[in-house]
Amino acid sequence: MTEKRVPVVRATLTDVAKAAGVSRQTASRVARGGANVNARTAARVRRAIKSLGYRPDPIARALSVGRGLSVGLLTHQLTDRQMGLGAISIMIGVEQAAAELGLGVSVATFATFDRATVQGGIDRLARAGCDGVIFMAPWVSAAKTLRALDTSLPMVSTSEVPEYDGPAVHADARRAAGDVVDHLLSLGHATVHHVAGPLNWISSQLRLAGWESALRRAGAEVPQSLAGDWTAGSGYEAGRQLALDPSVTAIFAANDEMALGVVHALTESGRRVPEDVSVVGFDDAPGSDHFRPPLTTVRVDDAEYGRQAVAQLMLQVNGETAAPATILPHQLIIRASAARSPRRAHRLPR
pLDDT tens-digit readout, 266-286 = 999 999 999 999 999 999 998
- Identify whether 337 is part of a domain: no
Q: Is there a single domain that holds both residue 96 and residue 149? A: yes
Q: Is there a single domain that holds both residue 321 and residue 284? A: no
* pLDDT exceeds cutoff 80 at 118: yes
Confidence of residue 86 (pLDDT cuts 50, 70, 90): low
- Identify whether 206 is part of a domain: yes
Q: Is there a single domain that holds both residue 214 and residue 295? A: yes
Q: Which among 284, 299, 314 is the end of a domain?
A: 299
CATH of the domain at 5: 1.10.260
- Identify whether 323 is part of a domain: yes
- Identify whether 263 is part of a domain: yes
Q: Is there a single domain that holds both residue 35 and residue 79? A: no
Q: Are 315 and 222 in contact (CB under 8 A)?
A: no
Q: Is there a single domain that holds both residue 215 and residue 133? A: no
- Identify whether 222 is part of a domain: yes
Q: What is the DSSP string of 193-227?
A: EEEE--TTBHHHHHHHHHHHHHHHHTT---PPPEE
* pLDDT exceeds cutoff 50 at 87: yes
Domain count, the chain: 3
Which residues, at least 6 apart from 260, have a Cβ–Cβ distance to it below 8 Å? 232, 235, 281, 291, 295
pLDDT tens-digit readout, 152-183 = 899 999 989 888 888 999 999 999 999 999 99
Q: Is there a single domain that holds both residue 167 and residue 310? A: yes
| Most confident of the following: 6-10, 14-18, 146-150, 194-198 | 194-198
- Identify whether 341 is part of a domain: no
Q: Is there a single domain that holds both residue 160 and residue 194? A: no
pTM of the complete model beyond 0.95: no
CATH of the domain at 210: 3.40.50.2300
Query: Is 73 strand, coil or helix?
Result: strand
Q: Is there a single domain that holds both residue 306 and residue 283? A: no
Q: Is there a single domain that holds both residue 178 and residue 292? A: yes
Nearest Cα to Cα of residue 309 among 6, 62, 11, 8? 62
- Identify whether 58 is part of a domain: no
Nearest Cα to Cα of residue 134 among 110, 162, 99, 169? 169
- Identify whether 17 is part of a domain: yes
Q: Is there a single domain that holds both residue 164 and residue 177? A: no
Q: Is there a single domain that holds both residue 45 and residue 159? A: no
pLDDT tens-digit readout, 9-68 = 567 778 888 899 988 778 877 776 655 678 888 889 889 888 888 866 655 555 554 445
pLDDT tens-digit readout, 89-98 = 778 888 888 8
Provide the domain limits for residue 278: 173-299
Q: Is there a single domain that holds both residue 180 and residue 163? A: no
**49 or 341, greater pLDDT:** 341
